[in-house]
Amino acid sequence: MKKLIIIIVGLGIIVGLIIVANNLSTDAKASDTSLIAFSVKDTAAVDRLEIYDSYKDMNMTLERNEKGIWTDEKGNCVQQEIVKMMLETMVKITLKGYVPKAARENMRKMMMAKHKTVKIFKNGEWVKTWYVGHATQDHMGTHMLLETPERRSDHPVIMGMKGFYGILDPRFFADPRRFACTDLFSFERTDLRKIEVINRVYPQESYIIRRSNDHYEVSSQGREIEDINEDNLLFYLNGFEDIHYNQPNYTLSRRQIDSIKNQPPDYELNIKGVQQSYELDLYRRSNPEQEDQDSLAYDKDYLWGVKEDGKLVRMQYYSIGPLIQGKTVFVNN
């Protein structure tokens, strides 16, 4: 009888240990899952992103409107491809590894000091927050922390992205200039009524194009130009559709901007359409490779442009050059 009691007690202890072990295993799995469940599968329901960059102390809020178009918090245009890139990252993010136990605390402190916060909302409700830290030494992973309404991870993990080799940090930023739409103007040829190009670098290259019914008149310095290639002129006028600038100003200070704008533009492009008009001032840029030399060399690839709202942007000769050098296109030499 005594042996039977010992056997029963022993079996009870074993069963209890099995139950405890199972519970611990379940808790560990839940904990592990909560640490790495960064993925957001249904990005079609994501309608708001709040991004904070502690490196630059910048905030950016993105919202999806009723038409499914992403804008900033004030409803201004943002580049849709940038947001799509972020959403793609949320779908394809995957675990690459764990931070060694001995390095966890130090890594957590480093991340709390410098990181990017990405707060994700679905259907108006906050669902997750990513804390995006710095890269691993091999630049093939990114240290990250996760927070959800249920809990917040205490230890960073190393995350990557399916089909992508590199770090995730550059995919998230909060500088509004990088989100801003780059479009300047777009005129179909049939909408154009008058184009005036003022060229202060070579005044003889200035010209005005006027449209009257289906006829175009071209003049330069008050005199009509007769030797016009009509086909090339139409080709030139077709080039006024979908014109963009290259990037916002990241380099010049307010003082430098004012110094530029206080000078007469090197070129002026004044466009008058049927329902709208646009005026663009353009300035040559000093060649960045010769800024410290006594030289009048100018950048052959870029110009400064002043938009109608007064903001300075960088323009490519590739896109704007053909519009201010039209005489080389449609005037027969």
Domain co-membership, 154 together with 193? no
Q: Could you tell me if 315 and 246 are in contact, meaning their C-beta atoms sit under 8 angstroms apart?
A: yes
Domain co-membership, 150 together with 211? no
Look at the block and give the residue holding tokens 């957590």.
108
Which range (167-171, 191-195, 290-294) has the least confidence? 290-294
Domain co-membership, 219 together with 323? yes
DSSP string for 12-65: HHHHHHHHHHHHHHHHHHHHHHHHH----S-GGGEEEEEEEETTTTEEEEEEE-
For CA atoms 41, 47, 53, 56, the dihedral sign is: positive
Tell me if 135 is assigned to some domain: yes
108 or 289, which is more confident? 108
Tell me if 229 is assigned to some domain: yes
Tell me if 260 is assigned to some domain: yes
**What is the per-residue pLDDT for 17?**
46
Give the chain's domain count: 2
**What is the per-residue pLDDT for 162?**
95
Helix (H) or strand (E) holding 120: strand 116-122
Choose one of 179, 195, 228: the last residue of a domain.
179
Domain co-membership, 152 together with 244? no
Tell me if 244 is assigned to some domain: yes
Domain co-membership, 97 together with 152? yes
Domain co-membership, 96 together with 128? yes
Tell me if 8 is assigned to some domain: no
Q: Could you tell me if 299 and 232 are in contact, meaning their C-beta atoms sit under 8 angstroms apart?
A: no
Tell me if 207 is assigned to some domain: yes
Residue 33 pLDDT level (bands cut at 50, 70, 90): very low
Question: Other CB atoms closer than 10 Å to residue 7's CB: what's the count?
Answer: 10
Tell me if 101 is assigned to some domain: yes
CA distance 168 to 160: 7
**What is the per-residue pLDDT for 228?**
94
Give, as one character, the DSSP assignment of residue 174. Answer: -
Domain co-membership, 302 together with 175? no
Q: Provide the residue range defining the domain that includes 308.
A: 183-330
What percent of the chain shows pLDDT beyond 70? 87
Domain co-membership, 157 together with 262? no
Q: Is the pLDDT reported for residue 130 higher than 60?
A: yes
Q: How confident is the model over 62-67, as a mean pLDDT?
A: 96
**What is the per-residue pLDDT for 96?**
93
**What is the per-residue pLDDT for 154?**
85
Q: 147, 177, 144: which is closest to 158 by C-alpha?
A: 144
Look at the block and give the residue holding tokens 């310095």.
221
Domain co-membership, 116 together with 211? no
Residue 18 pLDDT level (bands cut at 50, 70, 90): very low
Choose one of 122, 147, 179: the last residue of a domain.
179
Domain co-membership, 265 together with 303? yes
**What is the per-residue pLDDT for 10?**
52
Report yes or no on whether pTM surpasses 0.85: no
Domain co-membership, 241 together with 320? yes
Q: Is the pLDDT reported for residue 224 higher than 60?
A: yes
Q: Residue 270: CB partners within 8 Å, gap ≥ 6?
A: 194, 195, 196, 197, 198, 277, 278, 279, 280
Domain co-membership, 301 together with 241? yes
Q: How confident is the model over 237-262, as a mean pLDDT?
A: 96
Q: Classify each residue of 151-181 as buried b or exposed e, where b means 16 or more C-beta atoms within 10 Å of its C-beta.
A: eebeebbbbbbeeeeebbbebbbbebeebbe
CA distance 284 to 290: 14
Mean pLDDT of the chain: 89
Tokens of 183: 């479009």
Choose one of 127, 153, 179: the last residue of a domain.
179
Determine the 3-state secondary structure of 1 from DSSP: coil
Tell me if 11 is assigned to some domain: no
Task: Sort residue 163 into left (φ over 0), alpha (ψ -120 to 50) or beta.
Answer: left
Q: How confident is the model over 207-217, as a mean pLDDT?
A: 93
Report the relative pairing of strands 243-244 and 183-185 from DSSP bridges: antiparallel
Determine the 3-state secondary structure of 144 from DSSP: strand
